[in-house]
Amino acid sequence: MNRHMSAGRRFVKAAMAAPYLERDHERALAVRWRDHQDNEALHQLTASHMRLVIALAARFNHYGLSMSDLIQEGHVGLLEAAARFEPEREVRFSTYATWWIRASIQDFILRNWSIVRGGTSSSQKALFFNLRRLRARLAQTGAELNEDEMYQQIATAVGVSKEDVAVMDARLSSPDSSLNAPLGDGDQSGSSERQDFLVCNQPLPDEAVSEAMDGDRRTAWLRAALKCLSEREMKILHERRLVDEGATLESLGARLGISKERVRQIENRALEKLKKALIQNHPQGAAAFAVA
């Protein structure tokens, strides 16, 4: 641990000691990296801006994550900025890189601050990183706002709903809780866990297996019974009952060259034949044959 901290201090000290770049020198390094993939130029360009990475990482140190991890993610953003930088725009590299460094650090915080995945939209990210600051600013105004009014003002400032503010405030105000955490006193073996009180609306495993087996059995019975129908009866029943969007009596009658009333009669006759065949072949399942 001590060696790790010592190495971290040496890294920060070296980063702070790196020389600043003059504008022309910085532009020359950026051109060498972009046009010739000169790794030495990339190293000089990024090394001279590591103090910027450290300064930005320090702003997010209160989220409880390792400072070394924040610096590492900021360095990833710095490299991304170097890959995208266009020297011809006459913008200093530090100005351009700041956005990429901050974005990389913020993404890392959102992924690791909590085991519960938070919103990744720009408005949700803005709410996450500005909620505490906005609450403190409202408190400094001296205005006596209730919680609902405070949430509404923050929602208006960030551009999200009041409900989103309430949910984010609850997340930031309490740590993650394990579903295996005991609800009783101590770690007694007889104490209940949080997960014991979660209600599942899904059927029990044996019920799901039984339902699947019954479904397969009924499907096999239906396929066998369909063989008693004529070709035209089968076609009408298929078009009317066995497809996602059944055909209307009018459209089906027009295709078959008969009236819609005749289509209805043939369909009803086919259903009766099908029901009769099912009951005759499988009388034990008669209650399940509600063909209508």
Query: What pLDDT sits at residue 125?
Result: 76
For 205-288, CATH number out of 3.40.190.10, 2.40.10.10, 1.10.10.10, 3.40.50.460 equals 1.10.10.10
**Residue 183 near residue 194, CB atoms below 8 Å:** yes
Instruction: Give the whole-angstrom CA distance, residue 268 versus residue 249.
Output: 12
Instruction: Give the whole-angstrom CA distance, residue 167 versus residue 154.
Output: 13
Instruction: Give the whole-angstrom CA distance, residue 224 versus residue 209.
Output: 23
Q: Where are the domains of the chain?
A: 2-112, 122-173, 205-288
Residue 170: phi, psi to the nearest 5?
A: -65, -40
Query: What pLDDT sits at residue 167?
Result: 79
Instruction: Give the whole-angstrom CA distance, residue 185 versus residue 179.
Output: 16
Query: What pLDDT sits at residue 23?
Result: 93
Tokens of 241: 């009952």
The 3-state secondary structure of the chain reads: CHHHHHHHHHHHHHHHHCCCCCHHHHHHHHHHHHHHCCHHHHHHHHHCCHHHHHHHHHCCHHHCCCHHHHHHHHHHHHHHHHHHCCHHHCCCHHHHHHHHHHHHHHHHHHHHCCCCCCCCCHHHHHHHHHHHHHHHHHHHCCCCCCHHHHHHHHHHHHCCCHHHHHHHHHHHHCCCCCCCCECCCCCCCCCCEHHHHCCCCCCCHHHHHHHHHHHHHHHHHHHHHHHHCCHHHHHHHHHHHCCCCCCCHHHHHHHHCCCHHHHHHHHHHHHHHHHHHHHHHCHHHHHHCCCC
* Rg, Å, the chain Cα set: 34
Report the chain's terminal Cα–Cα distance, integer Å.
75
**The domain 2-112: what is its CATH number?**
1.20.120.1810
Query: What pLDDT sits at residue 292?
Result: 46
Instruction: Give the whole-angstrom CA distance, residue 143 versus residue 152.
Output: 14
Identify the segments of the chain with pLDDT beneath 50: 291-292
